[in-house]
Amino acid sequence: MLSKRQLCSPLVAGILLVLPLVTIVADGLLQKLGDEGAPMAARALFDSVVHVALGCLAWAAVTVHRNFGRRFWWELSMAAAFSAGVDVDHFIAARSFALKDALHMPTPPPFHDISLSFLFFLVSLLQYCTNRGKRWQLRYHLLQMSTMLAVHLCRDAARRGLHVAYLVTIPPGEPFGLFPFFLPFFPLLTRAVLMLAETESSLGSWRTGDDECRAAGEDRKNSSVNPKISDCDAHLDDLSYQAMFY
């Protein structure tokens, strides 16, 4: 049974509450840069950095329960790449590498639609329900892509509106509307899905890695030689990674 404390611990809640704050402050600074006539390249770079920061924070909220091992940092790198990579569609749609062309288009670029995020999410769930023992990495990364895309688009929606199914655009509010406050919902939903999936798994619990490594740490105090200890972090990190959505 998944408890509320497991799902949203104080640390997770703190990270999630930071997301709207970062969005509002960063967008205010971005608007100020525009008013002061900052170069377009500088504003675009700042915008990408904010997207990366939000993506990393959102994914940290999903996986913060785990040891800060290689897998954790690899996943944050993937989150950063997904978060920044969404904006590649600006250049694809504009068929140009010029920032002026990419940022001033009459229609939204192809990846900037919230329907894609829900599509990735649903495909991941269907894969889990119909093919539980195979392709767990595909399901896991689809969930990560879904979360990063939703966070990216929700942040953009505060300034440009939210595009739905390539047909409807929900306009932004003034000055930022409610969109920034929806940001915590997406990583929290992903965290709940992964925790429920892992709870049913036979590979262990979310706390397995922490508990065993803590026990190994006690053994380290009592013995200078223990072959299991040297590989503890890496092995358990990989194990919990598979357990999340196996």
Does the pLDDT value for residue 119 go beyond 90?
Answer: yes
Does the pLDDT value for residue 114 go beyond 90?
Answer: yes
Does the pLDDT value for residue 77 go beyond 50?
Answer: yes
| Average pLDDT of the segment spanning 143-169 | 90
Predicted confidence (pLDDT) per residue in 185-217, tens digit:
999 999 988 887 766 654 444 344 444 445 555
Domain count, the chain: 1
Provide the residue range defining the domain that includes 53: 4-244
Q: Bridge partners of 169?
A: 163
| Average pLDDT of the segment spanning 86-110 | 85
